[in-house]
């Protein structure tokens, strides 16, 4: 049985300084490869936008107001928010693909759930509870997750108990749920949505801000240290091999440096002057000069209005942690990899593969519901087009992130990095002038095929 913790080094890295370093730190070579690919994509778009298109970059000393390069706080902040809902669904797609199934309906589920959440708010909750009632967003969010989970359970039951292939069931779901999303509102856009609900989608007001982001980063670093110390203690208890102290310190330091660097980056993105003015107006206070026309946005007053980590990114982090624990620390996760490794052997060993299939697709549907919440909140509306073709990007993110279509292999962090790679390609092409969706689909298609080919080569190399 192959699982997430199986990081067998490829041939050629078993000896020498690189091999010894990877063995000591237990870093996954495939993870390093994905991070390297992401870095190359970022640097390529930054170089093209800066030196070919002549757009000023903050790397060259331009101000935030002037900078239009790829590696700017504004662009990377928006990139993180755009990655969130794809990454959330990709974590669920890992489970589906690991068990040798596929779900082509997640984008349509997202669109349908979004439309029903919009209708729930506009036609039922607001008239019943009153405009701006604080419980509207809570009821809507719970409804969205529950609806997505029910749809997923329904599809999973057909796959498990009726013996219909997952490809056919979810292909039918892609058409049925998209059609239902159109019919429920006659193709109309439902807007605006509840103000508190809209904060879930991010934006200047839908983020932690400067202080909250630094507090979050510090807490995250403390959590990382605790996780590593607990793991070391558990290894000692069970007489498992320990990482060298220097290797453990290096990995902890690297992760904390990434967390703190991310906090500094999102805090470098300052609110637009109009949002700062809106904030002061809502408090009944005088708008500072820096937020007025021609004001210095980098003055002490306005510079303190940092975006910080957006709520969708925090939701993605929470989902990623929960899914990682589920896949690596629970019986459910072991069963998932057992089914993916050998379904027949899993059945003979006593695993109820039918119930597991229903549970996996229920979870996938619930995650699509969470993605619908973020998508509708970010747009502040419910549209029939929401989630259109996102199922392809979700599947591609999981595969690019190292999930094998042959089953049995997949990682949560890989799927998120895969989502970030795909979103970076989309955002970068828009930035350099290739905003047409046709170009984006061509590039995503090439990336998907290349990822599968590299996975085949990797498997041959480690055998």
Q: Which residue has the higher pLDDT, 41 or 13?
A: 41
Burial 315-337 (b: 16+ CB within 10 A, else e): bbbebbeebbebbeeeeebebbb
Query: Is 70 exceeded by the pLDDT of residue 6?
Result: no
pLDDT score recorded for residue 4: 45
User: How is 317-370 classified by DSSP, letter by letter?
Assistant: HHHHHHHHHHHHHSHHHHHHHHHHH-HHHHHHTT--HHHHHHHHHHHHHHHHHH
pLDDT score recorded for residue 2: 42
Angle between helices 353-379 and 106-119 (to 10 degrees): 50
Give per-residue pLDDT as tens, 231-262.
889 888 888 888 899 999 999 999 999 999 99
Query: Is 90 exceeded by the pLDDT of residue 57?
Result: no
Q: Are 443 and 451 in contact (CB under 8 A)?
A: no
Whole-number Å distance between alpha carbons of 32 and 26: 11
User: How is 285-320 classified by DSSP, letter by letter?
Assistant: -PPPGGGSTT--TTSHHHHT-B--SBHHHHHHHHHH
pLDDT score recorded for residue 317: 96
Give per-residue pLDDT as tens, 384-440.
889 888 999 999 999 989 898 888 888 999 999 999 999 999 888 888 877 667 777
Alpha carbon separation from 143 to 71, 119, 122, 377, 380 (Å, rounded): 38, 12, 14, 14, 17
pLDDT score recorded for residue 239: 85
Q: Give strand pairing partners of 310.
A: 207
Q: Which of 181, 120, 175 is nearest to 146 (CA)?
A: 120
Q: Tell me, rounded to whole angstroms, the distance of Cα 1 from its chain centroid.
A: 27
pLDDT score recorded for residue 5: 42
Whole-number Å distance between alpha carbons of 308 and 204: 9
CB proximity list for 21: less than 8 A, separation 6 or greater: none
CB proximity list for 153: less than 8 A, separation 6 or greater: 358, 361, 362, 365
Domain coordinates of the chain in residue numbers? 16-123+135-189+333-462
* 192 upstream amide cis, omega within 30 of 0: yes
pLDDT score recorded for residue 1: 40
pLDDT score recorded for residue 9: 43
Place of tokens 């959330």: 88
Place of tokens 């002057």: 273
Query: Is 90 exceeded by the pLDDT of residue 325?
Result: yes
Rounded to the nearest 5°, which phi and psi values hold at 334?
A: -65, -40
Whole-number Å distance between alpha carbons of 260 and 243: 24
């Amino acid at each position: 049985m192959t699982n997430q913790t199986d990081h067998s080094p490829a041939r050629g890295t078993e000896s020498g300084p690189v091999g010894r370093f990877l063995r000591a730190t237990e870093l996954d070579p495939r993870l390093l490869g994905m991070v390297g690919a992401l870095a190359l994509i970022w640097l390529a778009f930054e170089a093209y936008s800066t030196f070919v298109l002549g757009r000023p970059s903050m790397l060259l000393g331009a101000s935030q107001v002037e900078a239009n390069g790829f590696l700017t706080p504004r662009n990377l902040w928006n990139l993180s928010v755009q990655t969130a809902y794809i990454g959330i669904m990709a974590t669920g797609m890992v489970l589906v693909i690991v068990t040798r199934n596929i779900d082509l309906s997640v984008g349509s589920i997202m669109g349908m759930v979004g439309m029903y959440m919009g209708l729930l708010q506009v036609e039922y909750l607001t008239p019943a509870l009153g405009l701006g009632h604080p419980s509207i967003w809570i009821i809507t969010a719970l409804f969205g997750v529950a609806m997505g989970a029910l749809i997923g359970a329904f599809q999973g039951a057909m796959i498990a108990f009726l013996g219909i292939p997952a490809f056919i069931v979810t292909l039918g779901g892609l058409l049925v749920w998209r059609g239902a999303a159109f019919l429920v509102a006659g193709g109309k856009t439902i807007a605006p949505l509840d103000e508190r609900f809209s904060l879930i989608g991010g934006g200047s007001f839908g983020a932690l801000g400067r202080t909250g982001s630094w507090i979050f980063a510090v807490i995250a670093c403390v959590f990382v240290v605790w996780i590593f110390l607990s793991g070391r203690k558990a290894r000692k208890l069970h007489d498992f091999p320990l990482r060298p102290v220097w290797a453990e310190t290096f990995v902890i330091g690297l992760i904390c440096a990434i967390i703190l660097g991310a906090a500094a980056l999102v805090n470098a993105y300052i609110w637009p002057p109009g949002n700062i003015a809106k904030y002061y107006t809502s408090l009944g206070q005088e708008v500072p000069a820096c937020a007025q026309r021609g004001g210095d946005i980098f003055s002490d007053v306005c510079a303190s209005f940092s975006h910080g980590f957006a709520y969708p990114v925090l939701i993605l982090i929470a989902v990623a942690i929960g899914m990682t624990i589920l896949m690596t620390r629970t019986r459910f996760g072991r069963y998932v990899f057992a089914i993916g490794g050998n379904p027949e052997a899993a059945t003979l060993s006593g695993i109820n593969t039918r119930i597991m299939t229903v549970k996996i697709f229920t979870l996938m549907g619930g995650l699509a519901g969470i993605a619908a919440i973020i998508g509708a909140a970010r747009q502040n509306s419910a549209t029939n087009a929401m989630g259109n073709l996102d199922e392809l990007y979700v599947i591609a993110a999981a595969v690019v992130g190292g999930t094998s279509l042959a089953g049995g292999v997949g990682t949560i962090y890989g799927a998120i990095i895969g989502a970030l790679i795909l979103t970076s390609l989309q955002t970068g092409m828009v930035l350099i002038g290739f905003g047409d969706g046709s170009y984006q689909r061509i590039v995503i298609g090439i990336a998907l095929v290349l990822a599968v080919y590299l996975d085949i080569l990797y498997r041959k190399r480690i055998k």
